[in-house]
Chain A
Amino acid sequence: MVNPSPGDPGSPHGMKGLVTDWSADRRVFDVPWGKAMMWIFILSDVFIFACFLVGYMVLRMSTVEPWPDASEVFALTVGGQSIPLLLIAIMTFILISSSGTMALAVKYGYEKDRRKTAVLLLLTALLGATFVGMQAFEWTVLIGEGVRPWGNPWGAAQFGAVFFLITGFHGTHVTFGVIFLIIMTAKVLRGSLDDQRPGFLTGRKGRYEMVETLGLYWHFVDLVWVFIFAFFYLW
């Protein structure tokens, strides 16, 4: 009996395809292994961030002190007027922009357009670095106002601990993303992906699928920010 592999034009779709993919005694996922592994890593990271956010929910729900109002805590004064959450809104737009440039970089990568891919990757890295810079500014302002992991001037002491943990962990993810974006830009620029040259630390040949795998990570970082923005800053 012939088992069609997932990518074949004749292989079934939908639920039937799901069953054949898992039961065909072949590779289950019809994607490059690097991409499948990135998805599995993202799944594990989803659980880590979810544990942090659930922990935040527990602290906020069970405290008897009032929770500091994020709109006021993160307000910026522009021209003598206090605008609520301004910095956070700008950071959100920067991260979404970087997700857009990343998606286009992946698209032009598959079209083997080396210059456009490199420029878009570099733009993504710059936007990411800007985001981290603004987060550093935000931390500086809050620390200056007396926010500590064990206390703050406005209410529930747990606010600082949650804030530094969640935004710090997310910021670390963005920072690593920026580093890998710069590495990938260099690889694309020098043509390593076109020539399928192996990398510095690996014998794996360079391919444009690597740009998509890196893109998955970057979009995930943006995805996490969507949840942090809603639960921590807006809620």
Chain B
Amino acid sequence: MAKATPQQHPLRIYLWVWLWLFVLSVFSYLVDVSGMEGFLKWFLITLFMLLKAGLIVAFFMHMAWERLAIIYTILVPPGVLLFLAGLMAMESNYTLVSRLTFFAN
């Protein structure tokens, strides 16, 4: 049986990630409170969301220290979800146009 390497890392890393998660959450809350609109708002919300997700997966879930075999197995498949989202965005746009054309007064 392969010997698993235990995930032991300095306390400093966890505390820094923790702090950044707080800071990024404050930022995304401020985006909402400040009443920002349009592209900038969506861009910032998505950016902070992805940064937080990346920090959690990489350091709290130890992905940064795993071997590529498990990293690719877990992180590549969710990529197809972007395809699903794109497909369904087109579909819902079509539904919206149909509704506006035939049903909405």
> B-contacting residues of A (Cβ < 8 Å)?
5-8, 13-15, 17-18, 21-22, 26-32, 36, 39-40, 42-43, 46-47, 50, 54, 57-59, 61-64, 71, 84-85, 89, 92-93, 96, 99-100, 102-104, 106-107, 110-111, 209, 212, 215-216, 219-220, 222-223, 226-227, 229-231, 233-235
Contacts and interface: CB of A to CB of B under 8 A. Distances in A.
Given A84-B32, A111-B8, A14 B68 contact: yes
22 contacts: A15-B68, A18-B69, A29-B69, A30-B2, A40-B74, A57-B89, A58-B88, A61-B89, A62-B96, A62-B99, A64-B99, A89-B29, A96-B18, A99-B60, A100-B18, A107-B14, A216-B61, A219-B60, A220-B61, A227-B53, A229-B49, A231-B49
A126 to B, nearest CB: 17
Interface residues of B, number: 58
A234 B28 contact: yes
B22 A62 contact: no
B66 to A, nearest CB: 7
Given A43-B77, A57-B92, A71 B32 contact: yes
By CB atoms of chain A within 10 A, which of B52, B61, B81, B100 has the most? B61
B83 to A, nearest CB: 11
Interface of B: 1-9, 11, 14, 17-18, 21-22, 25, 28-29, 31-33, 42, 45-46, 48-49, 52-53, 56-57, 59-62, 66-70, 72-74, 77-78, 81, 84-85, 88-89, 91-93, 95-96, 99-100, 103-104
A93 B62 CA distance: 21
B92 A21 contact: no
B contact face: mostly helix, strand, loop, or mixed: helix
A6 B67 CA distance: 8
Given A22-B69, A43-B78, A85-B29, A5 B2 contact: yes
B36 to A, nearest CB: 10
Contacts of B73: 29, 39, 43
Contacts of A215: 60-61
A31 B70 contact: yes
Contacts of A230: 28, 45-46, 48-49
A103 B77 CA distance: 25
Contact of B88 (A32, A57, A222): A57
A114 B17 CA distance: 24
A229 B2 contact: no
Contacts of A46: 78, 81
A102 B5 contact: no
A104 B14 contact: yes
Contacts of B49: 226-227, 229-231
Nearest to B68: A18
